[in-house]
Amino acid sequence: MTLAVSVNDSSEAESLRGLLRQRQLHPIFQPIIDTLSGQIIGHEALIRGPVGHPLEYPNDIFRVAQQHQLLSELEINCREAAFNRFHQSCMSDYLFLNINPNVLREHGHPQGCTLAMAKQLGISAKRVVIELSEKYPVDDPSILKVAIQRYRDAGFLIAIDDLGAGYSGLQLWSELRPDYVKIDRYFIANIHRDAVKREFVQSILGLARAMHAKVIAEGIECIEELRQLQQLGIHICQGYLLGRPQAEPLQGLPAEKLSQLRSRANSQTETIGLLQEVVPTVSPPTAALAVLDMFVQEPELLSLPVVDGQRAVGLVRRERLMELFSGSYGRALYANKSVTRVMDHNPLIVEFDTPLDHVSQLITEDHQIDVSRQLMITKDGCYQGVASVRNLLRKITDLRIQNARYANPLTLLPGNVPIYREIDKWLGSGEAFRVAYFDLNNFKPYNDVYGYGNGDKLLQWVGDILREEILAEGHFVGHIGGDDFVAIFAENSKWRQHCDNVISRFENQIQQFYTQKDALRGGIVATTRTKGTAFYALLGIAIGVVKPDATHCLSHHDVAVLASEAKKQAKQAGKSVCFISRRRRPAAQLPDHADHGAAV
């Protein structure tokens, strides 16, 4: 029921005391998602007052508590409510609890109350993450460090929240060595359009790996932000796009949300399914001695998956089992026990369509995995097989060497060989796709007047635009050479919007590469091929888009001819334009009256 309550400043404190006394503050939970596996790894508990009450939202609640010395009482009330709801919901993931660091310095704040609450409800401290927000300034870090060490000694995990919102975050990070670091929403908003934000997030990710901390990006509100974060290597995410805060914690993601997370605009990405191996499996009731016999009989086996029906439940590792049975009492202790007593209950499990580079990130972050181990592969949650970490790393190394060998040296985008391979993959897939050919108008005169150094800077800038507008969305981008670029889109993607965005950014920012004089007069005077002079307008970007017909375009050669024809049509406009060709096969295969398309 909505409450219509009116309180003035003098009665705010009493209003809050009433809410605390009557236990009217309640938690809501926002999921934290591993976007690679689609699993919910935890929920952040957020506090709310009664609907319609002047103290419904946390900013007002904590403001009043801070002003009237009620912070300690409020914090305890919030934790108690969160623990109770967490317990009632039978949640099996992590509970992230926000704590104002300054409350830990209050002399009257009871020590050990958080652990006592958890124990009373049978909640392991290892499933609770204490979040310290950087938004609250800390006057005496030494007191905070002592308090945090008590939490860590009790078994709780530690997170720094809102990293980047204040000025002491990096110092706090280096001193506290948290298990998780949550990047503030400011650095996530429109990260796909902001190179500085990407650099900041990339540096945070590098520091986190060095300090063995996991990074969580919070405040994600659009798919473009999510795709950019995935490109950077951040896959633990939180935000309205993935799930809004609600009273009932999510037990699993809806099918449509899983589909959104796993979707790739380019379905041709190399995935872990390519490395899948079929090995014998055992069921949970199998005796450990029987599993030992299987390892003895098959020396090549590194692991044996434990599968219940189609569900992957664990992995028995050869070296671990051998170690257990080699002890003086190993056989007596384990021989007749279920294999579940000796298996790894938390092996790395990934979906078959997870890209190889994302699996590599998971392995990099798991410091217990070595190259001799294996991971389990599932499809829609059902066991499929295993993959060797060694084979994965070998494949990734081969791909990186291959990409480096054929990359354009100026922009480091894939060159001709990877472009041709990508087009051939699409032709072989049977899926409809679009190829966009990008070319600059009047680039040669620009080079002649401004020099090759400035020309190279301009090409690198164009490469950055294509990265941010197209590659960041999961589409393929390549650099043919010179001022020629190419992008490949799935037919059902927003290819037209991406091309329009490229033109818009190009037109809005191109003047930065000219002197003020040339920018004002709208172009340059340059020498022509006949040694005369001519006026050339400011650079434009011409885009020719085609939809190849795989029944007539038999290889990348045919697609290249088709795309080149569309690009020539686009350049005839003499300005930035996207020409969408209606031709689906090279002109040589078409009757003379065939419709060409339209420039838009």
The 3-state secondary structure of 121-181 reads: CCCCHHHEEEEEECCCCCCCHHHHHHHHHHHHHCCCEEEEEEECCCCCHHHHHHHHCCCEE
**CB contact at 8 A, 342 and 288:** yes
Domain with CATH 3.20.20.450 in the chain: 23-262
Q: Cβ atoms within 10 A of the Cβ of 585, count?
A: 20
Q: Which residues pair with 410 in a beta bridge?
A: none
- What lies within 8 Å, CB to CB, of 434 at 6+ separation is 488, 489, 490, 491, 493, 495, 545, 546, 547
Cα–Cα distances in Å, from 571 out to 106, 541, 584, 587? 70, 8, 19, 17
Go through 180-199 and write b for each residue having 16 or more CB atoms within 10 A of its CB, e for each that does not. bbbbbbebbbebbbbeebbe
**How many distinct helices (H) and strands (E) make up the chain?**
20, 21
CA separation, residue 478 to residues 91, 362, 462, 466 (Å): 45, 27, 12, 9
Please report the pLDDT score of residue 66 as a whole number.
81
Please check whether residue 349 is in contact with residue 375, taking contact to mean a CB–CB distance below 8 angstroms: yes
pLDDT of residue 368: 62
The CATH number, out of the four listed (3.40.50.720, 3.30.70.270, 3.30.9.10, 3.50.50.60), of the domain defined by the range 407-599: 3.30.70.270
Q: 196 near 183, Cβ under 8 Å?
A: no
DSSP designation for 249? P
Beta carbons of 464 and 195 less than 8 angstroms apart = yes
Look at the alpha carbons of 266, 268, 269, 271 in this order and tell me if their dihedral is positive or negative: positive
Residue with tokens 């805060």: 245
CB 224 within 8 A of CB 472: yes
Which residues 6+ apart lie within 8 Å of 57 measured at CB?
48, 49
Report CA-CA distances (Å) from 54 to 4, 51, 73, 440: 9, 9, 19, 58
Q: Candidates 3.40.50.300, 3.30.70.380, 3.20.20.70, 3.10.580.10; correct CATH number of 272-395?
A: 3.10.580.10
**Looking at domain 23-262, what is its CATH homologous superfamily?**
EAL domain (3.20.20.450)
Other residues' Cβ atoms within 10 Å of the Cβ of residue 505: 19
**What pLDDT does residue 161 have?**
81
Question: Using the 8-state DSSP alphabet, how is residue 348 labeled?
Answer: -
Tokens 């600059």 — which residue?
440
Q: 265: which 2 tokens? A: 């605009």
Cα separation, 597 vs 57, in Å, equals: 55
Residue that the structure tokens 């981008």 belong to? 477
Residue 142 has, within 13 A of its CA and on its CB side, a CA count of 0
Per-residue model confidence (pLDDT) at position 558? 92
Distance CA 539, CA 366 (A): 49
SS3 category, 600: coil
| Residue 338 β-bridge partners | 287
Distance of CA 455 to the CA centre of its chain: 34
State the Cα–Cα distance between residues 334 and 336, nearest whole angstrom. Answer: 6
- For position 419, what pLDDT does the model report? 93
In 241-384, where does DSSP find H-type helix? 255-262, 288-297, 318-326, 330-334, 356-365
- Evaluate whether 395 touches 270 at the Cβ level (below 8 Å): yes
| 517: its two tokens | 């004089």
Q: Which residues of the chain have pLDDT under 70?
A: 1-10, 105-107, 134-141, 143, 162-172, 255-256, 258-269, 365-369, 587-600
Residue 337, helix vs strand vs coil? coil
CA distance 231 to 471: 9
CA-derived radius of gyration, the chain: 29
Long-range CB contact pairs, 362-367, < 8 A, 24+: 362/36, 362/235, 363/389, 363/392, 363/393, 364/209, 365/209, 365/214, 367/212
Residue 44: in which H helix or E strand, if any? Answer: strand 39-48
Q: Which residue ranges does the chain devote to CATH 3.30.70.270?
A: 407-599
Q: Which amino acid is at 479?
A: H
Three-state DSSP class for 550?
coil
- Residue at 93: amino acid letter: D
E-only strand ranges, 442-582: 476-481, 484-490, 523-527, 533-537, 540-546, 577-581
Residue intervals of the chain classified under CATH 3.10.580.10 are 272-395
* pTM for the predicted model, two decimal places: 0.55
